[in-house]
Amino acid sequence: MKRYIIHILIALDQLITTLIGGYPDESLSSYAYRMNVQRKPWGRVWRPVIDWLFSWQRLPDGHCSAAYDEERKRLQYPPILRKDEP
């Protein structure tokens, strides 16, 4: 049940990101990082807020940077979809 709730929250996260102009499979955190790197106002405002909310993770470059790296490496995909095999 816990995993199901987490999946629903991730889906809502991605839906919100899509509604505000991000990619359909991108998280708000990754989008905030990408927008910040591009010097867009949305990213410059929200990246520090999101990083602060997740500061308990103690990630060296912040939560948004880690989320972006995971998106680029496709680590958020289910294991079966990360394999090179069909």
pTM of the predicted model, to two decimals? Answer: 0.83
- Judged against a pLDDT cut of 90, whether residue 32 lies above it is answered with yes
Mean pLDDT of the chain: 90
pLDDT of residue 86: 52
State which amino acid sits at residue 8: I
Nearest to 27 by CA among 41, 39, 17: 17
Domain boundaries, the chain: 2-78
Over residues 26-51, the mean pLDDT reads: 96
pLDDT of residue 83: 66
pLDDT in tens, 49-77: 999 999 999 999 999 999 999 888 877 77
